[in-house]
Amino acid sequence: MLTNLFDGVAYGMLLFVMACGLSVTLGLMNLINLAHGAFAMAGGYVTVILVNRLGVPFFAALPLAFVASALIGLALERTLYVHVYRKSHLEQVLFSIGLVFMAMSGVTYTLGSQQVFVHLPAFLSQRFDVFGVSVGAYRLFIIVVCGVLAAALQFAVARTRFGSRLRAAVDDPVVARGLGINVNLVFAVTFAVGSGLAGLGGALGAELLGLDPSFPVKFMVYFLIVVAVGGSAGMTGPLVAALLLGVADVSGKYYLPQFGAFIIYVLMIVVLLWRPQGLFGRAAR
């Protein structure tokens, strides 16, 4: 029971790190980006290549995965995404689906379509008992890393100057521009950091979630749930939504294996019917 809860929390934390960038971009530029999972996949594959093929230590590969995905995100934002901000939601959906398809077959072409795993350091793959609860070291590691990240993000958004600019730009981009905030720059940085975090999440989750070229489509719905249910008012909403989703999904699959896959979708539909703007505050306009 507690083990399940623990696994669910680890899973939810991962989802939060992967999806939090999406919630900000969605709230900031009203951009529906279905290709967010592709950045997570990029981070995962960067880690796999670095660790398995080049022998880079796992802990050194994680920041590199962040940097690589952030750079990819920045490049795509500057070259392609800037052109679709003002387009309709339908066009944004088509555009990002197109990116997902290209990313998926690009990976299949270069790295093959089979599922890959990261070679973890030995001490991370053991299990131990804490007060009778069986705990996986790697999951504990994920919870710690993602918890620290979540706290840092909350601090960055709530307390720093960049965070206040970001919040101003989310609240009202026109007025923020009028006050001299470079909204485009804020968005480019946020997009890059969001992509980087997705990549880091993908790197951390490669072992837990399984990594193959269909990753972006498989987890697209999960990211969207985190965003739509959590709203984009702050970091707290998506965090709570991600944790709820993680726990619900893991325990659902464990206790009701027959209906496991249904639970999250039904839950999401119910939540969106009950509160179309998300559980916490407002979602995208």
Map residue 162 onto helix, strand or coil.
Answer: helix
**Among residue numbers 176 through 215, which ones bind other proteins (CB under 8 A)?**
none
> How many Å apart are CA 8 and CA 222, to the nearest integer?
14
Binding mask 8-37 for other proteins (x = CB under 8 A): ------------------x-----x-----
Is position 114 an interface residue for other proteins (rule: CB under 8 A)?
Answer: no
Choice from 91, 121, 128, 144 touching other proteins (CB under 8 A): 91
| Half-sphere exposure in the Cβ direction for 263 (13 Å, CA) | 17
- Cα 212 to Cα 124, 133, 226, 238: the distances in Å are 22, 31, 22, 25
Is position 63 an interface residue for other proteins (rule: CB under 8 A)?
Answer: no
Backbone angles phi, psi at 129, to 5 degrees: -100, 130
Q: Report the candidate in 184, 165, 215 with the shortest Cα–Cα distance to residue 35.
A: 215
CB of 277 to other proteins, least distance (A): 8
> How many Å apart are CA 12 and CA 5, to the nearest integer?
10
Choice from 184, 221, 253, 254 touching other proteins (CB under 8 A): 221
CB of 101 to other proteins, least distance (A): 3
Nearer to other proteins, 97 or 156 (CB): 97
CB 17 within 8 A of CB 201: yes
Choice from 59, 128, 255, 265 touching other proteins (CB under 8 A): 265
Residues that bind other proteins (CB under 8 A): 26, 32, 80, 83-84, 87, 89-95, 97-106, 108-109, 217, 221, 224-225, 227-228, 258, 261-262, 265-266, 268-269, 272-273, 276-277, 283-285
